[in-house]
Structure 1
Amino acid sequence: MGRRLFAGRRRDAAVKRLWPRSLARQMALLVALALLVAQAINFGLQLSASQRQRTTQTTAVAIARLAEAVARSESAASVELAPRLETKVNPINPEMTRRDDVAQRARQALADLGLSARQVIAAEAMGREFRYVRDPASGALRRIEGPKSNALILTAQVGDTRWVTAIAQFPRQDYGVVLWLLFQTMLLYGFIVLPVVWFVWRLSRPLRKLRAAVEGFTSSAPAPPVVEEGPGDIRRLIAAFNSMRARLVAMLDEKDRMLGAIGHDLRTPLASLRVRTELVEDEAERDRMAATIDEMNRTLDDILSLARLGRPSEEPSRVDLPGLVDSVVDDFHDLGVDVTAEESDRLAVTMRPTLVRRAVRNLIENAVKYGGAVRVRVKPEENGAVVEIDDDGPGIPPEDIERMFEPFTRAENSRSRETGGAGLGLALARAIATGHDGRLTLENRAEGGLRARLWLPCQGQAFAAAA
């Protein structure tokens, strides 16, 4: 039972793989299959009609020959003529196919001509390796070996031991009918399938444009409105998409304006508080207040950056990724942080450098806070480049790794509030990677610690190695 189910699933999977996916190809295939079935039925009907015609002609010839032989047998006056017309043995054997309908027609034909026969037997000798012929000298019937021959044999008993036999060969199959049907099929495919394919292709063109617009729609570069064309239902679908696109663009514009206003309204009081901290006489308290305000500013920057990632103002450019990572590592060196970067060849990647720089900085900051010493390397991988950041920290439980990418999420068992941060660094870094058609993953290393892997595609361009 299980094997049958598995085999059935495999067949279904094979059919799905072979079945065309586009509308034009599906319509063309359906029309082609319909024509093929129609032509197969037509082919069968034509062959059946041709077979009936051949049988009718052969039957008429055999009956005419039998009637002539019976008439000559009845009028034979001399003993010398009888052996030429008659046999003493019924030439039809059990291996032949009896044709009682032909025998009935032959009896009726003999009766209409006033000829008598005790019994009439008809049979088809299909594919037999013998045939009956009359000897040129004596005129008697003889069975001789020969090539395979399809024949209709009619024999009539005209005496106690006398049989008169007539043989009519079936005409050969007319293959001209087959060739004509094949030619007709090709004409039908040319005059029907090709126009249908062209018509369906034109019909699906608006759908292809709509699909391209949907796939190309991004918050940073919304696709232009799609021209409304095609049948009425497709026009209405395109109109609905254009309306939805306009609403989405308006919502994104409103979001940007709102974020700008929020950022301005929040930064102004934070700046005022930062100035007022200078009036605090207690230096330790003043430093704590200033650090808190700076943390609030960084959190605000992270929130606004995460919200605006969908519509970045920076244009992509071709940048050497190892050089960009080295510059970020140098910034940490200036702060006295233990971060080392392995040397690597130049790898040119199309990116928005400011955003990628921020993602790398967030990942290194995360590793420094919770992992101590940090090691960074850049290497080519899978038609792209990957930045690996290793630390020696306690790592993250496997079940919590994906949750760490959610905004405002922290793993409290390995991180404490004293380390600072609002839990937006990883969410922002993954959003930046996704915006570049890349990916960001976390994995616990076998030797201990955590590894962050930021992979960025090369977008089909080869790596630019330094000369």
Structure 2
Amino acid sequence: MMRGFRFLLRPRSLFTHMVALLIAAVLMGKLGSWTVSLDDRAAAVRRTHVEEMLLRVAATTRVMASLPAEHRANALSALGTTETRFMLEDKPAVRADYVGSDPQQVEAARARLRDLLGLEEGQVRLKIWYRSENADPGFLHNPWAAIDPVAMGMKFAIQLPDGQWLNAINRRMVQPTVWSTTATLGLISSILMVAAAAFYISRRISRPLRQLADSADRLGRGETVTILDAGRGPEEVRRVTHAFNAMGERIRRFVDDRTRILAAVSHDLRTPITNLRLRVELLEEGETKARMLETLDELRSTVEATLSFTREELGEEAVRADLTSLVESVCDDFTDVGRPVAFSPAARLPVVCRTGSLRRAVRNLIENALAYGGDAQVSVRVVGPHAEIVVSDHGPGIPEAEMERVFEPFVRLESSRNRRTGGVGLGLSIARSVIRGHGGDVRLVNRSDGGLDAIAMLPITARPLHDSLPLKKAA
């Protein structure tokens, strides 16, 4: 029960939002109409009481008129109650000129009693009063006060055929009925109808929106997303779906064109670099030749790294894989050739990724740690809905002001990086590009005890791995 209340008090989905809002609207509407009707309900209860008293007094008058005078006193004592007293007197108990606070009500009651008894104008007198400020409410008043009991009084004077007056007085606390079983059933049926309508509307809207959100998430991770059906849901949802399909197609074309151009440029640069190297080899030995060969080697490494990256990006589909096995296999590749890389075992973590690109990103982070820290400790951990690959080294670290700049292409920090062993400055840039393409990010953190942590964050897929085999070493 409490869980159901929390479900409505803190709605999360579109359906719960709509149900909560519509139920609140129904309750507020019912409350408003019920509050407005309180005065009418109280007035109806008082009118009913007046009608009951008129019928009772009329019946008593007929009985008294039919009885001999000597038997009337005994009959009256039997007809009286704690709320109503009857008396036979020679004079009327109500003045002939009495009007009261509500002349229309008094005149209507007097006319009703005359009709019931068939008497003339002067033979029936009536007085009605209330001891409550809410009995006769004005335009500006507290409607909730109408549910309070009202002290109601009525006095009658009816002339009998022999000239005597039957006087009667009634005092009663009238309690208005403010709620009923019918009102409860009506409220419950209204809420059920609102919930059913909200369920239908939210399902019609939320289903395509849920598909849209899932496709947007997959597109952000670099997965291939099929074209969504733009003919479902309301017009606004259809427009959003159509815009998403167009956006996804433009992004795919843009990324594919950019990657192909980059691959083509990198491929075309290999031939002139090779020709330049052949020409440099013909030069005489010396410092100039050595520097030129070093520059050509650096340029060739840059082209090869770029070409290798673009080849992996082109045509590779995202699949479900075990992140722990993938990272462990990359670490095994380094340990097999004697590099000081240690991996901390962890549980299986399902992710959706392009395995070739992700392996390159992890490899770049490890190579960065080996080049500038001498060793690498690799671990995989879970932080909320994300998995983190942590690559730690015992190097000199990076100044805080340079943390973001090192991710720019071809940037190497000369104060802490060796130009001969530091590569071409694309490792961290490629790693971050790959990880961001999977919906994550890479950040660097200097440890207080010295060294640097490179942390790659990836979203964990909600879909299980089922029986998919863990990844082994790279070929």
SS in 2 for 1:217: helix
TM-score (norm 1): 0.67
Structure with the bigger RCO (C-alpha within 8 Å, sep 6+) is 2
Residue 48 (structure 2) aligns with: 57
Name the counterpart of 2:361: 359
1:122 — aligned with what? Answer: 129
Whether the 8 Å contact between 1:408 and 1:423 is mirrored in structure 2 is yes
SS of the residue corresponding to residue 297 of structure 2 reads helix
Distance (whole Å) between structure 2 residues aligned to residue 359 and residue 421 of structure 1: 15
User: How do residues 199-214 of structure 1 correspond to structure 2 at under 5 angstroms?
Assistant: 199-214=201-216
My pick for the range that moved more, 280-289 or 75-84, is 75-84
* Contact 2:410 2:424 (C-alpha < 8 Å) held by counterparts: yes
- Please point out which of 254, 279, 283 is paired with 1:280: 283
Structure 2 vs 1, CA of residues 232 and 154 (structure 1 numbering), >3 Å: closer, same or farther?
Answer: closer
Counterpart for residue 450 of structure 1? 452
Task: Using the aligned pairs only, state the percent identity.
Answer: 27
Mark the CA change 1:324 to 1:35 in structure 2 (over 3 Å): closer, same or farther: same
TM alignment of 1:145-224, pairs within 5 A:
152-155=152-155, 164-167=167-170, 178-191=180-193, 193-195=195-197, 197-218=199-220, 220-224=222-226
Task: Tell me by how many angstroms 1:241 deviates.
Answer: 3.3
1:322 aligns with 2:314: no
Change (3 A) 1:36 1:388: same
Q: Secondary structure at the match of 1:245?
A: helix
Letter in 1 for 2:10: L
Amino acid at match of 1:214: A
- Which amino acid is 1:276 matched to? R
Question: Partner letter of residue 340 of structure 1?
Answer: P
Tell me if the contact between 1:404 and 1:426 (Cα under 8 Å) persists in the aligned partners.
yes
Deviations 1:331-385 (A, max 9, x none): 4x4xxxxx533464476566655444433443344344444x3342435444746
Matching of residue 252 in structure 1 with residue 255 in structure 2: yes
Query: 1:3-402 to 2 correspondence within 5 Å?
Result: 18-22=10-14, 24-44=15-35, 48-62=39-53, 81=73, 85-86=86-87, 100-101=101-102, 104-105=106-107, 113-115=121-123, 120=127, 122-123=129-130, 152-155=152-155, 164-167=167-170, 178-191=180-193, 193-195=195-197, 197-218=199-220, 220-230=222-232, 231-282=234-285, 285-304=288-307, 311=314, 313=316, 316=319, 317-318=321-322, 319=325, 321-331=327-337, 333=338, 340-342=340-342, 344-345=344-345, 354-371=356-373, 373-378=374-379, 380-382=381-383, 384=387, 386-393=389-396, 395-402=397-404
Listed one character per residue, the Cα deviations across residues 261-294 of structure 1 (whole Å, up to 9, x for unaligned) are 2122101111222333432341665544333222
Judged with a 3 Å threshold, the aligned counterparts in structure 2 of structure 1 residues 114 and 256 are, in CA distance, closer, same or farther, namely same
Q: Check the 8 A contact 2:330/2:363 in 1, yes or no.
A: no
Q: Distance in 1 between matches of 2:412 and 2:314?
A: 27
The SS at the match of 1:229 is coil
* Distance in 2 between residues matched to 1:299 and 1:387, nearest whole Å: 26
Whether the 8 Å contact between 1:363 and 1:426 is mirrored in structure 2 is yes
Contact 2:263 2:310 in 1 (8 A): no
How far, CA to CA, are the matches of 1:191 and 1:87 in structure 2? 60
Give me the whole-angstrom Cα distance separating, in 1, the residues matched to 2:275 and 2:329.
38
Cα pair 2:130 2:153 within 8 Å, conserved: yes
Describe the shift of the 1:457–1:205 C-alpha distance in structure 2 as closer, same or farther (beyond 3 A). Answer: closer
| Partner SS state of residue 219, structure 2 | coil
Aligned mates of 2:251, 2:72 — CA distance in 1: 110
For residues 346 and 236 of structure 1, the distance between their equivalents in structure 2, rounded to whole angstroms, comes to 45
Kept in 2: contact 1:321–1:348 (CA 8 A): no
- Partners of 1:449 and 1:31 in 2: how far apart? 57
Amino acid at match of 1:54: V
8 Å CA contact 2:266–2:306 kept in 1: the answer is: no
Candidates 400, 424, 443, aligned match of 2:426: 424
Cα deviation for residue 429 of structure 1 reads 1.8
Show CA shifts across 1:221-273 (max 9, x none): 44222223144454444334333333333333322332232122101111222
1:445/1:233 Cα in 2 relative to 1: closer, same or farther (>3 Å)? closer
**Runs of at least 5 residues in structure 2 that lack an aligned partner in the other structure:** 1-5, 78-85, 90-99, 134-148, 159-164
Provide the aligned length of Structure 1 versus Structure 2: 405
Q: Note the aligned Cα RMSD (angstroms).
A: 4.9
Question: Residue 340 of structure 2: SS of its match in structure 1?
Answer: strand
TM-score by length of 2: 0.66
The structural deviation recorded for 1:446 is 1.8
Contact 2:439–2:459 (Cα < 8 Å) also in 1? yes
Distance 1:19 1:221, change over 3 A: closer
Please list every run of 5 or more consecutive structure 1 residues that lacks an aligned counterpart in the other structure: 1-13, 89-98, 127-148, 334-338
Q: 1:44 to 1:344 in 2, by over 3 A?
A: closer
Aligned counterparts of 1:432 and 1:283: Cα–Cα separation in 2:
41
1:439–1:243 Cα change, 3 Å: closer
Contact 1:122 1:153 in 2 (8 A): yes
Other-structure match for 2:142: none
Cα pair distance change 1:125/1:69, threshold 3 Å: farther
Q: In the alignment, is the contact (CA less than 8 A) between 2:398 and 2:452 conserved in 1? A: yes
